[in-house]
Amino acid sequence: MPDALFAPSAPRLSPDAPVGRIEIRAASKPGYDVLLTPAALAFVADLERRFGWRRRYLLEKRVERQARLDAGEKPAFNPACGYARHEEWTVEPQPAALRDRRVEITGPVERKMIINALNSGAQVFMADFEDSNAPTWANVMDGQVNLRDAIRRTITHIDPISGKHYALNDKVAVLMVRPRGWHLEEKHVLIDGRPVSAALFDFGLYFFHNAHELLTRGSGPYFYLPKIEGRAEARLWNDIFLHAQDCLGMPAGTIKATVLIESILAAFEMDEILYELRCHSAGLNCGRWDYIFSFIKKFRNDPNAVLPDRAAITMDKAFLNAYSRLAVKTCHRRGAPAIGGMAAYIPVKDDPVANDRAFAQVRADKEREARNGHDGTWVAHPALVPVAREVFDDLMRTPNQIHATCHDVRVTAEDLLAIPQGPRTEAGLRQNVAVGIGYIEAWLRGQGCVPLFNLMEDAATAEISRAQVWQWLRHGARLDDGRVVDHALVERIIEEELAAWIGRVGEVALAHSRHEEAARLFSELVFQHRFAEFLTLPAYDRLMETGS
């Protein structure tokens, strides 16, 4: 029997759930009215009123946990979670559409991107409202419109410059959707005077309009769940799924969701997370970039946890390889798929040598994942789908590897917490600054993923860059040449990298760029004493200030 930690959750209705107004503080565009119907908004409001208070409570618990980590506490496997961790149980079987996920492509909910990704030859397309999407009101709502059209196969696009026409192929990838994380709010929509949870808004609007349509077309409402830090947060999603399905007359388990393990804390609760979602689980994914960011963030006060250059923190490092192997072992023991992470490399135009190097690095990364036992992997560009597919076709001859139970794998807390060694260089510091400024600038213009220096950067990779600069400053890290990373050095490099960006942009484009604003925000983030939990929180405030 389940132990006490998995007793029935709190009542689904907040004890003080008010009856009030739904207010939208944003301009409408053609097509939005089809989505923002009274019934759909009532559904979203119901989710917020029932579950929003629990989200806020769990965010408070995150703050309390961080205080303990700051005081020196280290994560550990919880021996009290007896049933979830030690007994034999499995998640519900996977639907046919999700049994073969060997290649998944991800990207924002932009119209052309959706068409290209669905046509890419990947088994799955994860449409992203989170790390690769700057959440302007237009981006969020256009994304909902685009997904609605894609599901109904009415989506088309004509490139305004080339005139090229885009439409769906007969065979397309299975669609999964990633709503925003628990920490974010959608400030354009107020429920009873309070901003709605961005996760509940994204999920609720998409599910209400598309769940039945997906089922009639042989698919289903499939999701990726980001930024979860433990079993209680997974349980909240499970309760939301149960209620949402009940509201729309669907049986429990219709929804399937893959949880991204992108927090060091979640790595210690993989069994518990799968257990909480076992009726709805579509496995786990190694969200490696946010995981590295989480490692820096959670151990920010520990001078012994200072990491090397971002470029040196690769999946062959012991702590990341352990995390990958533990995810596979945990998932397969529970009958769930374990999906590998994103290789940030993209094709390099006009440089065959660099392009060959990028493809070789992607191939090596995917071979490592397949040999570790992963059932699929992520790519960021359609041109990399054949590379990943070839690797998994060669090393995984069945639709998945769930049958490989990995009994011989042993991963300890010490393995997960091992600090990687490597260089700390001025070049690495400069790269962090350049990426931080370049990404924030694009984000402020409404672009949530952007190619920079032959890598695809999104919020997760940019978080590593700014967090690492903060960490090196906080602990006075010493570069390999002996210099200490201090305020003066970082300030000088920010000025120089801002000038470099202005030089790259050129005088004409500079008038429309936001590099100076991005450099100011980056400086605030790395110089302030208190670590900002997510760069997208202050950046979102700036979007709101500009009416975006």
Beta strands, E only, 92-212? 103-108, 124-128, 156-158, 165-167, 174-178, 185-191, 194-197
Closest Cα to residue 140, out of 166, 179, 174? Answer: 179
Q: What angle do CA 26, 28, 29 make, to 5 degrees?
A: 140
Q: Is residue 7 part of a domain?
A: no
**Is 130 a residue whose pLDDT tops 90?**
yes
User: What's the whole-number mean pLDDT along residues 41-52?
Assistant: 98
In a domain, 471, yes or no: yes
Q: Which of 235, 334, 458, 466 is catalytic?
A: 458
- Element holding 339 (H helix, E strand): strand 338-342
Same domain, 270 and 138: yes
Token digits for 180?
Answer: 């925003």
Query: Which pLDDT score, from 0 to 100, does residue 508 have?
Result: 66
Residue 453 confidence class, pLDDT cut points 50, 70, 90 = very high
In a domain, 40, yes or no: no
Report strand pairing: 455-457 vs 450-452. antiparallel
Residue 65: C-alpha distances to residues 72, 75, 470, 516, 535 (Å): 11, 10, 21, 35, 20
Domain assignment present for 492: yes
Q: Where are the beta strands (DSSP E) in 202-309?
A: 222-225, 256-261, 281-286
Which tokens is 352 given?
A: 């065959």
Which has the closest alpha carbon to 196: 210, 209, 178, 184?
A: 184
For residue 178, what are the domain limits?
A: 53-343+351-417
| 172 within 8 A of 97, measured Cβ to Cβ | no
Please identify, among 382, 397, 417, the residue that sits at the C-terminal boundary of a domain: 417
Number of compact structural domains in the chain: 2
CATH of the domain at 463: 1.20.1220.12
Considering the domain architecture, whether residues 359 and 487 belong to the same structural domain is answered as no
Lowest mean pLDDT across 152-161, 399-408, 427-436, 488-497? 399-408
Task: Determine what percent of the chain is predicted with pLDDT higher than 90.
Answer: 90
> How far is it, in rounded angstroms, from Cα 137 to Cα 507?
29
Degrees to nearest 5, angle at CA 395 with 394 and 396 = 100
pLDDT in tens, 147-171: 999 999 999 999 999 999 999 999 9
Residues 375 and 519 reside in one and the same domain:
no
Active site residue 389: no
**Residue 8: what pLDDT?**
33
Residue 431 has pLDDT above 60, yes or no: yes
Last residue of a domain, one of 396, 417, 438: 417
Residue 481: active-site member: no
Q: State the pLDDT at residue 2.
A: 38
Sign of the dihedral through C-alpha 59, 61, 65, 67: positive
Q: What is the Cα–Cα distance from 492 to 438, expressed in whole angstroms?
A: 17
- Backbone φ, ψ for residue 151 (5° rounding): -60, -35
Asked if residue 20 belongs to a domain, the reply is: no
Q: At residue 186, does pLDDT exceed 60?
A: yes
Residue where a domain terminates, one of 363, 396, 417? 417
Helix ranges (DSSP H) in 217-263: 231-247
For residues 442-457, give the mean pLDDT: 94
Active-site entry in 54, 55, 178, 325: 178
Query: Which of residues 509 and 190 earns the better pLDDT score?
Result: 190
Same domain assignment for residues 455 and 509: yes
Res. 323: pLDDT tops 60: yes
Report the pLDDT value the prediction gives residue 547, as an integer from 0 to 100: 86
H-helix or E-strand spanning residue 376: strand 376-379
* Burial class, 159, CB count within 10 angstroms (exposed 0-12 / middle 13-18 / buried 19+): exposed
